[in-house]
Structure 1
Amino acid sequence: MIKMRLVRLLQGAGKNIIYQIIWQTAVLIAQIVIVQALANFIAAIRQEELLGQQIAVTLITILIGSSICFFGHRLYSRAGYRATRDVKRLLRQKIYEKVLRLGPSYKEQSKSIAIVQMAGEGVEQLETYFGQYLSQFFYALIAPLILFAYLSFTVSVKVALTLYVTVWLIPPVIMIVMIVAKKLLSKYFKSYYNLGGNFLEKLRGMTTLKIYQADEAAAASMDEEAENFRKITMKVLLMQLNSISVMDAITYVGACGGIIVALHLFAAGTISLAEAIVVLFLALEFFLPMRALGSLFHIGMNGIKAADRIFAFLDLPEPTTGEKELMADRIAIELQHLTFAYEPSRTILQDVNITIAPGSFISLVGVSGSGKSTIASLIMGKHRTYNGQIKFNGTELSDYTCHSIMDNITLVGSNSWIFQGTVRDNLLQGKATATLAEMEKALEEVNLLNFVRERGGLDMPVMTNGSNLSGGQKQRLALARALLHDTPVYIFDEATSNVDVESETLIMQVIHQLAARKTILFISHKLANVAGSDKIYLLQNGKVAEAGTQAELMELQGTYYKLFTEQKRLLRFSTTKEGEQA
């Protein structure tokens, strides 16, 4: 059971597997030589023909043979380590490169947790597959042939044939196990990946579960999934145990059969005492390699299943990317007859036409689900399966490399991720070569510098996703990082949502200052924040329903006018209520 595609993919590890087979074979030959020397030694004692010279030869033979066995095992282990080291490095590199080629849209085709498990546990399964199983597979075929040839020429073809034929009763057992294991391991891995994914999801949403007092139900659900995983694991182990028991029975019965035949021939005077002793010592060696292969079989099956998942990921269709580099200080963006659907039955955008001139401040507004964030994702190159055209300076987006688009457009969302580490670590992600002065200037622009200085400066600790920061501070840190990135185009997708009024006002000030020197695409559901835009596009049901300046849209008295008026009324009502409570 060999995955040839896997072997071809990891050709660098193949040479180490060959070395493992060579050292195993060398150890076997050394064992045969030692057994023959001991058999001759014992026979000479029995026949009272032992000479001093024979004692010395026997001792030297055993010493040399034992040294070969010792160093052979050491070299076998070293070759196995090198093979597994190459496997881990090459496979994880392949997975990483695939994620890069898939680009920002990789989450559409595979869950992050599945990729993490694949690169972790999945690769570890293949480590054992390459480090032990493959070399044992070939050695289990070679060893019985060597022993059969040796015993045929030195002892008896009848004895050798008895042992050799019995050995091949083990592979049918392995094949039966394979048929059962194939279905069982599919369930095992499905349960394993589901358990890991659901655990991570519930862990991330623990606060929400606590708020709605749904944590006990979630825990009960996880207990049930864990119990199902335990049961399927026990079935896998039981299958392995039963197969080993059957193989042990064949091994001992077969070895005894060979020994009985040898004793019968010895009693008949057909073979000598030394030859009978050789059979006694080597009978089990016929079966041990195949027996070891059988015990490693579940590892082989695990490796195959892990490889299937890895190859399924590596075979995912990749978005077509161009080879041009987007290099310009001023970038014009045009969306012409843009249509996009996540699924054939769910069209998000339909015949959208939007022009974003260099240096302009353009806003997208509309109710939730109207397609605003989808447009931002399309411009960032996250989805390449659209109809229509997205052009940068007159050239289609698909002609540019994904890397160059990221170098020229910065997206700041409502939930920009803040990494565990320090403030410095997070800022350097925006610009790896940023100086102390540049980082402090960015923090000052977003009014975070004094706050950071009071808590250790740029080395201030930051928890995972900025959990030790308020919502406003977290968003301002993300904005400071974006400022350091210093790209010609900035997209702010609901960047002022989920923050306090003070932080919202400050963020809007920074955005308007940035608009004086950069191209801005501003997405918001708060229409008061888009009033100063050069042009506003109102999306409705995936289409551009209205477009114009604030004054033009208010004069039109259409959907935008109604939304703006309603939001203004609600704001006035909220302010009045707060004043009454005060």
Structure 2
Amino acid sequence: MINIRLLKAFPKSAQYIRLNVLFQWLGLLMNVILSASIAYLIASAIEQRPISWIVFVIMILSLCVRMICNDRAVQMSFASSSLVKEQMRERLFSKLSKIGPSYLKTFSTAQIVQLSSEGVDQLETYFGNYIPQFFFALLAPLTLFLITLWFDWKAALILFMCVPLIPVSIVFVQKIAKKLLSKYWGQYTQLGDRFLENLQGLSTLKIYQADERKQEEMKEEAEQFRKITMRVLIMQLNSISIMDLVAYGGAAAGIISMLTSFQNGTITLFGALFIVLMSAEFFIPMRTLGSYFHIAMNGMAASDTMFQLLDLEEKEHPIQELAPFSSLKIENLSFAYEEKPILKNLSLSIKKGEKIAFVGESGSGKSTIAHLMMGILQPNTGSICWNESEICEIEPSIYSPHISYLGHTSSLFLGTVGINLKMGKADASEQEMWIALKQAGIADLFQEKEGLQTPVKEGGSNFSGGQRQRLALARLLLKNSGVMILDESTSNVDVESEDQIIQTVKDLDDKTIIMISHRLKNSMDADRIYVLKEGAIQEVGDHETLLKNKGEYARLWNAQQNLERYNGGTQDEAK
């Protein structure tokens, strides 16, 4: 009924939970005083005894104190749940930043989104309501038993003995509920995965007229989710019915025992009325606990997945300081996605100030090399060394400022041009940002608009592909890293933007440039070109040398030149 690890994970929430229980208990005592006052008034009226005005004062005071206690209990509930949600989200994001994209081996992006939003929100009920109610539900019946014991020990004992039947029924239901709710949460995240995938690929589905088929698949999965949701609801309703039966049955048994005592004259009218009013109070805390139980189980099911993420192995990074870049060495490096080899026994060296290019057919492992250099992926065998230090041993926050990456689709974020640029350098001045925009050949566009305050929509959707890429290049230049990796950075842009980006890169004489491109024209000026084929280095040399060798590079070059001549001729005919 309680996840010990979940409780131990947030020790600071304990003080709020204790105060929550305390205020609920004080509220219970006020309710006891109020019920005793009501019983006294009724008994006095029946027995025609005078009623003191002090009773009414006591009733008003107990009501006021109970209201204050209830309000404070709600505040403590909010404080504990807010603390837990904040800390859990912080831990999840911290973990993700430490392990990087390697989490994708175990979790999908949709799962991470759901865990950090709906999943964490499920903990609100667990810490804010369920846990305080659990301890209060243990304390309340014992308190009421000790009070009612003075009036009729038989009725008090019967009421007290019937209370544990509710948690027994909860434990019985839990065995079924845990497996069912785990399956429910898995189905929920799977449905979210599929929805996000279809939404992101909607244009592709439309092009291939596969949207209707995917819609039917979504309908089937949604129907499966509906069925398991209904099973969860049926289980909840059945368990609530069982708890109600126990609560009402126990209260009735206690009242019947009290009536027997009253008939025998062993209890006064006041005592009898008081027990009638208190009989329901014995079971209400446990009954409320039962109503929170099923929602709390959702939180526990989500927390199991959260702990799976938090338990993912983190590689230690003993190197906390990094000298300026002098060389990057790859030795005997191999890498495979699952069981498919991508890179095979690569060895090479890159020195400061060099412009290096990796070329080859699609699937030859070019982008994988870039991800390995960035530390996003880890090699299966071999090593990548920054100067003399393996990058897998360097603290990512230390390594990141020294190396930059520009892919074929760079992310722009909702905000302004200035906000996006400052991701490259947080303390960048306006002058520095304008210099970077001019270097990227896009300053004129923003000068005609609202300058650095020009709005950027989500994903940069209010700009063309070329404009987005040049803005991303300006951000890269502003970061001013010693090593810059351009991974197919011109593959999705127009010719003008491509030429501008390539020219900007050529002018960076003081930087080490690593360029990955399917267009060999962009690699012509590289100091050294590595030609990859089936994950291995096929050839190495500059442009002229590789053409003279008439090997793989020359074959790719000639094929691209013929294709460009053909396209040019086709366009001339069209004109």
Moved more, 54-63 or 362-371: 54-63
Out of 165, 173, 176, the position equivalent to 2:172 is 176
Partner of 2:350: 356
Distance 2:536 2:58 in 1: 88
Residues 505-546 of structure 1 show CA distances to partners (whole Å, capped at 9, x for unaligned) of 2211111111x1110111111122212111111111111111
Is 1:124 matched with 2:121?
yes
Q: CA deviation at 1:217?
A: 2.4
Is 1:331 matched with 2:326?
yes
Q: CA deviation at 1:134?
A: 0.6
Q: Secondary structure at the match of 1:447?
A: coil
Distance 1:15 1:338 in 2: 52
Residues 191-226 of structure 1 show CA distances to partners (whole Å, capped at 9, x for unaligned) of 211222221221122222222222222233223322
Residues 44-86 of structure 1 show CA distances to partners (whole Å, capped at 9, x for unaligned) of 4433443xxx613322322232222111111111111111111
Distance 2:31 2:301 in 1: 36
Out of 426, 430, 446, the position equivalent to 1:432 is 426
Q: Secondary structure at the match of 1:318?
A: coil
Partner of 1:340: 335
Distance 1:30 1:435 in 2: 63
- Evaluate the alpha carbon distance shift between residue 326 and residue 105 of structure 1 in structure 2; reply closer, same or farther with a 3 A threshold: farther
* Count of residues paired in the alignment: 575
Distance 2:316 2:558 in 1: 44
Q: Secondary structure at the match of 1:353?
A: strand
Residues 90-133 of structure 1 show CA distances to partners (whole Å, capped at 9, x for unaligned) of 11111111112113434344322222211111111101111111
Is 1:91 matched with 2:88?
yes
Residues 265-298 of structure 1 show CA distances to partners (whole Å, capped at 9, x for unaligned) of 1111111111111111111111111111111110
The amino acid across from 1:341 in the alignment is A
Q: Secondary structure at the match of 2:507?
A: helix
Q: Is the 8 A contact 2:318 2:395 kept in 1?
A: yes
Residues 421-461 of structure 1 show CA distances to partners (whole Å, capped at 9, x for unaligned) of 22222212112222222222222222212222223222222
Q: Is the 8 A contact 1:331 1:488 kept in 2?
A: no
Q: Secondary structure at the match of 1:430?
A: coil
Q: Is the 8 A contact 1:341 1:386 kept in 2?
A: yes
Q: Is the 8 A contact 2:469 2:489 kept in 1?
A: yes
Out of 468, 478, 487, the position equivalent to 1:474 is 468
Q: Is the 8 A contact 2:35 2:274 kept in 1?
A: yes
The amino acid across from 2:77 in the alignment is G
- Evaluate the alpha carbon distance shift between residue 43 and residue 573 of structure 1 in structure 2; reply closer, same or farther with a 3 A threshold: closer
The amino acid across from 1:105 in the alignment is S
Moved more, 196-205 or 215-224: 215-224
Distance 1:364 1:556 in 2: 17
4+ aligned runs moved over 6 Å, structure 1: none
Distance 1:275 1:370 in 2: 87
Partner of 2:197: 201
The amino acid across from 1:222 in the alignment is M
The amino acid across from 1:337 in the alignment is N
Q: Is the 8 A contact 1:109 1:316 kept in 2?
A: no
Q: Secondary structure at the match of 1:507?
A: helix
Q: Is the 8 A contact 2:136 2:285 kept in 1?
A: yes
Out of 125, 132, 147, the position equivalent to 1:135 is 132
Moved more, 237-246 or 117-126: 237-246
Is 1:529 matched with 2:525?
no
Partner of 2:160: 164
Distance 1:341 1:218 in 2: 31
Distance 1:395 1:170 in 2: 62
In structure 1, the gaps of 5 or more residues are none
Q: Secondary structure at the match of 2:90?
A: helix
Partner of 2:267: 271
Q: Is the 8 A contact 1:84 1:130 kept in 2?
A: yes
Distance 1:26 1:7 in 2: 24
Q: Is the 8 A contact 2:372 2:379 kept in 1?
A: no
Out of 540, 549, 570, the position equivalent to 2:563 is 570
Distance 2:49 2:459 in 1: 83
The amino acid across from 1:276 in the alignment is A
Distance 1:60 1:581 in 2: 98
Distance 1:47 1:465 in 2: 79
Q: Secondary structure at the match of 2:336?
A: strand
Is 1:247 matched with 2:243?
yes
The amino acid across from 1:9 in the alignment is A
Q: Secondary structure at the match of 2:383?
A: strand
After superposition, residues 492-571 of structure 1 pair within 5 angstroms as 492-514=486-508, 516-571=509-564
Q: Is the 8 A contact 2:334 2:379 kept in 1?
A: no
Q: Is the 8 A contact 1:331 1:489 kept in 2?
A: no
Is 1:210 matched with 2:203?
no
Q: CA deviation at 1:165?
A: 1.7
Partner of 1:22: 22
Distance 2:202 2:510 in 1: 43
Partner of 2:574: 581
Moved more, 357-366 or 210-219: 210-219
Distance 1:215 1:121 in 2: 28
The amino acid across from 1:456 in the alignment is E
Partner of 2:13: 13
Partner of 2:311: 315
Partner of 1:401: 395
Partner of 1:66: 63
Q: Secondary structure at the match of 1:429?
A: coil
Q: Is the 8 A contact 1:338 1:352 kept in 2?
A: yes
Q: Is the 8 A contact 1:535 1:549 kept in 2?
A: yes
RMSD over aligned CA atoms reads 1.7
Distance 2:106 2:358 in 1: 28
Partner of 2:97: 100
Distance 1:45 1:393 in 2: 94
Moved more, 534-543 or 428-437: 428-437
Residues 549-579 of structure 1 show CA distances to partners (whole Å, capped at 9, x for unaligned) of 2222222222112222222222222222222
Q: Is the 8 A contact 1:103 1:402 kept in 2?
A: no
Is 1:237 matched with 2:233?
yes
Distance 1:41 1:494 in 2: 85
Distance 1:358 1:100 in 2: 28
The amino acid across from 2:4 in the alignment is M
- The normalised TM-score by structure 2 is 0.96
Distance 2:387 2:155 in 1: 83
Distance 1:277 1:411 in 2: 78
Out of 170, 175, 188, the position equivalent to 1:192 is 188
Q: Is the 8 A contact 2:333 2:379 kept in 1?
A: no
Q: Secondary structure at the match of 1:294?
A: helix
Q: Is the 8 A contact 1:41 1:55 kept in 2?
A: no
- The normalised TM-score by structure 1 is 0.95
Q: CA deviation at 1:385?
A: 4.5
Distance 1:426 1:113 in 2: 25
